[in-house]
Structure 1
Amino acid sequence: MKKLIHTLLAGSLLTTCLATTSAVNAMTVSPQNWWAGMQNSSLQIMLHETEIAKQQWYLESYPGVELKSITKTDNANYAFINLEISPNAKPGKLLFKNRAGDQFEYPLLTRDKQSAERQGFDSGDTIYLINPDRFANGDSSNDTVQGMAEAASPSERGGRHGGDIQGIINALPYLDELGVTQLWLTPPLENNMASYSYHGYAITDFYNIDPRMGSNELYHELSAKAKQHGIGLVMDLVLNHFGSEHEWMKDKPTTDWINFNGDFADGKHATSHARQTIQDPHASEFDKRQFSDGWFVSTMPDLNQRQPLLATYLIQNAIWWIEYADLSGIRVDTYSYSDKAFLADWTKAIMVEYPNFNIVGEEWTSNPAIASYWQAGKINNDGYTSSLPSVMDFSLQESLIQALNEDESWNTGWVKVYESLANDFLYPNPDNLLVFADNHDMSRVYTELKQDLAKTKMAMTMLLTTRGIAQMYYGTEVLLDNTGSNDHGDIRIDFPGGFAGQKTNAFTGQGLNSDQVDMQQTITTLLNFRKNSPAIAKGKLTHFSPKQGVYSYARISEQQTVLVFLNKNTTAKTWSLDYMREVLGNHKSATALFNKQKVKLTKPLTLPAMSALVLVIE
């Protein structure tokens, strides 16, 4: 007789062990639990065990829950239980049995009362982007974990350095004081890869936090403690690909689970990165497939989201993490590389479940005609309808760096920023775009601006006061720099003060030079101003064509007007405000944000050389 053992392991992986006198087989269940009272009444549970499909499972009677069917595939090691859960079903434990006498319990949990109405991040937020492995080591005992393929190697640029979730929890008071309102962590999920596993984008378990980062419980604790500081948690999800050491590579749920039959073919099946093929009316089907089905690299196999069982798996996985970790948003890696029909279904399912939620998709293009295709509300020529609320504004990022590095002329300098923002007519909701100066995949803004403090301050002032949702990369506030190397391991540099033996500590200020202190104070002022500024959060943007090396604009709400002047000149400018009368109205004075001095608006201003002036009119 088989003897049943069922338990919840650390990390919340529900595993049912069916023990015999000769062997023990583990059945994995995904997702490991669900919640009563979800908007979507359907649930599909994946079972994985040797020849599980040969077992006949049934559900013991449970009010409001019906086992509709069991889907089997061409792999007998998988079975998919399809349930219908009525709105009246109460939390409890479902009991599944098979005809051999085996059984397992499945938790149906209680939802938080306000879960469905949760508020996602918005244009009043500042999202602080962290590579967890490179931010702070709060628990050195998990730097190397037995059973994980890659051990800690802090001296290697591409190795694991030991940062973890506990380090981020310890840093929450610092982030609160800095003015951060949201945290975006590059994926902390298990990446059990032989090398370069620190970045998080080669996922080998979609339901468990990497043990070198912590645990599911610790991730939940981060979310709860961050909320106590007024900080939300944004999860970085990967829909397009996964890690080649995932069990799916050895035991595919279906033969069509992975694109190109799970074969990279020495690069023949690599993605073309030709994102324009999605909209190109002349594109060949070959080119379309090469973009969407192609792999990034051999260690990141490309998922086939046209497979309906996989599509459901990915939808439920996102919803599970939103509920479990109380997320305030999702960032989707390599958004446009996934099947676009699936993306429409995926975003719609989440937004129906959480109408006030926010999701930002990465579409790495400086062409807003391509990026705007994905934002919800866009009327596209091909009839495609998206439910994605936000996209990343790579156009503005690229334009800002160019503007600050170029000499001023009729078609160079600040005009690049002006023209990028003028293209906002292409977006249904430009206020819901994510704006940023850099991120984990590109050189740091201080590096790109040739280690120029004044230009870096102008860049960050502009991004933190213009329209959109602001995102800042960790360490920008203390001028982290990768000059001399474009290696991702150097871009994702260790945060000063997060690791033992560092002489500089950004958390305490110890060892920071005068430029770093200046930048940290500037960022702190800007971020805390954003927290309480109605003009920045919801105000209309009115900008003026650049002239004489100065770009100026206003953010206007009923309660407040904010004026911004960005002077690239190496000398001070005496600046008449006559051209701004349409935004000044009858206001006679304002307060300078950085020094709190009163400024008269009835006479010309003095714009200091190479500086940003921010004036607040209440």
Structure 2
Amino acid sequence: MFCNRLVVCLLGGLLIFSGAANSSAQSGRTPLNNCATVAGPCVDKVDPPNWWAALPSPMLLLHGDHLRKAKFTISGNGVSVDKSKVSANGHYAFVWLKTDGATSQDIHIHVSARSGSMTVPYSLNQRKPAGYRGFSSADAMYLILTDRFADGDLSNDNFPPGFGVVDRTKPTAWHGGDLRGIEQHLDYLQQLGITTVWITPAYESSGEPHAYHGYDATDMYAVDPHFGTLADYERLAADLHSRGMKFVLDLVPNHVGPAHPWAVDPPTPDWFHGTPMDHRRAKSNFASLVSPDAGGQGSLDVVDGWFSNVKPDLNQDNPLVEKYLIQNAVWWVESAGLDGLRLDTFPYVQRTFWHDFHATLHELYPHLTTVGEIFNHDPAITSFFAGGVAHQGVDSGLDTPFDFPMFSALRNTLVKDAPMTALDEVLRQDRLYPHPERLVPFLGNHDTGRFMSEPGATPAKLKMGFGLLTTMRGMPQIYSGDEIAMRGGKDPDNRHDFPGGFPGDTKNAFTAQGRTPEEQDMYTTVAALLHYRAAHTSLKTGEQKDIFADQSAFAFVRAVDIQTGCTANHKEDRVLVVANRADQPRELTLPLKDSALEGCTHFEPALRTNSKAVADSTSVHLTVAPQTVAIYQVQ
């Protein structure tokens, strides 16, 4: 499975490797050697492929053949081998280096046995100034499914069979989107009002013809050649940071793809929970993890099961697996100066691993932010996985979960006729979270059907959704294409290509001229909301106080110091948001006394809101247009 990765020169019995990482856009990581042609000890792959001198000493995982009785030494200044461990079949060697105090340099790993010897070059790089700023509620996040956004490099589209041929006529094939395509459209994102870009995993998964999404890794230390090279990844990060934007990468410590070489030849017998022929099927009964008597059959079906019943489930209880995965996260962060990580399938991994994972990452990168996928609509369950508090004796360390309960409430109230009180019910449970202000609400993502394909959805209701999303507490996340009202049902119908990002597209929605009237109207609405949000501290970092909710209306206030109301000495930004889902105007009277609006006398409609507000000494009287989110600047 590794024979396509490595190229070698054999000189007088000494193996000297040539080529730099990512020199070939067609095969992922540069090949080092075809071990089938070497009689002695052979290494054809090293994870991680490089490291940094100022970081903690690494554990290397070498793959090759005839390693069972090999010895490992290092040539380098201040670098040595601390210990090593070889797999029973001689295909893997764990080698712990001691790099404390070492400077950046090129070193050599010597592998020797009676049958021969070889030398593997390795680099300890110098750390470079980078991002690591983290994201917060002051940001607006944009989710990009890399393969479906834009094809910026046509040279990486054509691959031989078995490596995922680009075919845009097939919904689950590769379509050609890549990292350069994202970089080429950063102006579009900034004009929209986006500050943070989240991309789906960049792992190599070319052995999988339908793994365009990146969640089926075949090499966790390589950028998939469909997406480009490591240099493309680093350049995208640099461009984002030069614009003051932030970069979030999706990581998957829970599983690898079924075509990963480990599936048939794992580094240790307990590298996975089970085997391809004998394993549990993952179930999403997260309540079994929250229960006080967690640890029974239900819990094992979650944390030990194979996702989709085919994806090998990594055993993070194995210290070698844990070390490998934590180092892998460090490698991706350090390579690009990432600002944050999106952590896939978060509940499917043991809390003890997440505790150790975050302890390491937060020590190395104090400002790095993590957001976890907990696909559940109950705040009592979602909040269980948030960091900042120990549940069952373990703090996960997670900075924040995605707000799946709010996603569900927004869909239910806007297109399924649930009472607007459902929004208030979710928000009242914010007390369950150590940091509810960090939550990431959203209207949809790549795992849900598009909002506009919900039965009963209309552009007006989607605008209401964006109005609420961009004004409520937390950081809004927008799925690429929702800002132009794209349609699509369940996966893969929700993953259509962004119009204008690919050769042969008949329209280009990246430009105002290329959008339909409906697309332009939605884009203008979303951009106006995001820019208004960016201009108001209350909406970025302020507190939220819900003040009214009934069957068809919902109102809340945002302010930095929400307890004081409007006073003569209080000049802070204050915003009133009122949503009317009804098909006719709503007349609302909101009392001012003993509320976040106490003392407020002036209510100025914002963003050309077609809604009136008249205040007297005791109340504010509102007339809110039908199917509208009205925003008022309050003093």
The TM-score, its normalising length taken from structure 1, stands at 0.91
1:169 matched to 2:183? The reply is yes
How far off is 1:147 after superposition? Answer: 6.4
- From 34, 55, 69, the equivalent of 2:51 is 34
- From 556, 570, 573, the equivalent of 2:583 is 570
Aligned to 1:372: 383
Q: Where does 1:421-500 land on structure 2 (aligned, <5 Å)?
A: 421-448=427-454, 450-482=456-488, 485-486=489-490, 488-500=491-503
Q: Where does 1:122-271 land on structure 2 (aligned, <5 Å)?
A: 122-146=136-160, 148-260=162-274, 262-265=275-278, 269-271=280-282
SS in 2 for 1:583: coil
- From 391, 399, 402, the equivalent of 2:401 is 391
How far off is 1:186 after superposition? Answer: 1.4
Aligned to 1:514: 517
How far off is 1:513 after superposition? Answer: 3.0
SS in 1 for 2:151: coil
Contact 1:125 1:530 in 2 (8 A): no
Aligned to 1:401: 411
How far off is 1:545 after superposition? Answer: 3.1
Aligned to 1:56: 71
1:276 matched to 2:287? The reply is yes
CA deviations on 1:201-235 (whole Å, 9 max, x unpaired) are: 11111011111111111111111112222221111
Q: Distance in 2 between matches of 1:471 and 1:453?
A: 19
SS in 2 for 1:481: coil
The structure with more helix, counted as a fraction of residues: 1
How far off is 1:365 after superposition? Answer: 0.9
Q: Comparing 187-196 with 383-392, which one deviates more in the overlay?
A: 187-196
SS in 2 for 1:54: coil
How far off is 1:307 after superposition? Answer: 1.4
Contact 2:280 2:309 in 1 (8 A): no
Residues 580/317 of structure 1: CA separation in 2 closer, same or farther (3 Å cut): farther
How far off is 1:171 after superposition? Answer: 0.8
1:543 matched to 2:546? The reply is yes
- From 282, 306, 311, the equivalent of 2:322 is 311
How far off is 1:19 after superposition? Answer: 9.3
SS in 1 for 2:492: helix
Q: Distance in 2 between matches of 1:59 and 1:160?
A: 42
Identical-residue share of aligned pairs (%): 32
Q: Distance in 2 between matches of 1:185 and 1:306?
A: 28
How many residues align? The count is: 601
How far off is 1:279 after superposition? Answer: 2.3
Contact 1:190 1:208 in 2 (8 A): yes
Q: Distance in 2 between matches of 1:206 and 1:404?
A: 40
Q: Distance in 2 between matches of 1:130 and 1:114?
A: 22
How far off is 1:544 after superposition? Answer: 1.5
SS in 1 for 2:323: helix
Residues 529/172 of structure 1: CA separation in 2 closer, same or farther (3 Å cut): same
SS in 2 for 1:604: strand
Contact 2:351 2:395 in 1 (8 A): no
The TM-score, its normalising length taken from structure 2, stands at 0.89
SS in 2 for 1:460: helix
How far off is 1:366 after superposition? Answer: 1.0
Aligned to 2:3: none
Q: Distance in 2 between matches of 1:331 and 1:474?
A: 16
Q: Distance in 2 between matches of 1:283 and 1:172?
A: 45
Contact 2:415 2:457 in 1 (8 A): no
Contact 2:43 2:62 in 1 (8 A): no
**How much is the aligned-residue C-alpha RMSD, in angstroms?**
2.5
Q: Distance in 1 between matches of 2:633 and 2:110?
A: 66
1:532 matched to 2:532? The reply is no
- From 322, 327, 334, the equivalent of 2:333 is 322
Residue identity opposite 1:501 in structure 2: G
Aligned to 2:109: 96
SS in 1 for 2:527: helix
CA deviations on 1:150-201 (whole Å, 9 max, x unpaired) are: 2111111112222111211111111111111111111122112443211211
Aligned to 2:369: 358
Aligned to 2:422: 416
Q: Distance in 1 between matches of 2:99 and 2:385?
A: 32
Residue identity opposite 1:106 in structure 2: Y
How far off is 1:517 after superposition? Answer: 1.5
Residues 101/315 of structure 1: CA separation in 2 closer, same or farther (3 Å cut): same
Contact 1:202 1:299 in 2 (8 A): no
Q: Distance in 2 between matches of 1:20 and 1:467?
A: 58
SS in 2 for 1:518: helix
Residue identity opposite 1:417 in structure 2: L
Q: Distance in 2 between matches of 1:84 and 1:516?
A: 57
Residues 21/297 of structure 1: CA separation in 2 closer, same or farther (3 Å cut): closer
Q: Distance in 2 between matches of 1:165 and 1:567?
A: 41
Q: Distance in 2 between matches of 1:19 and 1:405?
A: 59
Contact 2:16 2:118 in 1 (8 A): no
Residues 230/284 of structure 1: CA separation in 2 closer, same or farther (3 Å cut): closer
Contact 1:75 1:254 in 2 (8 A): no
Contact 1:15 1:26 in 2 (8 A): no
Contact 2:14 2:119 in 1 (8 A): no
Residue identity opposite 2:226 in structure 1: R
How far off is 1:71 after superposition? Answer: 2.1
Q: Distance in 2 between matches of 1:421 and 1:444?
A: 23
- From 560, 563, 566, the equivalent of 2:573 is 560
CA deviations on 1:89-121 (whole Å, 9 max, x unpaired) are: 321122322445532332111112466xx2111
Query: Moved runs in structure 1, 4+ residues, more than 4 A?
Result: 12-26, 596-603
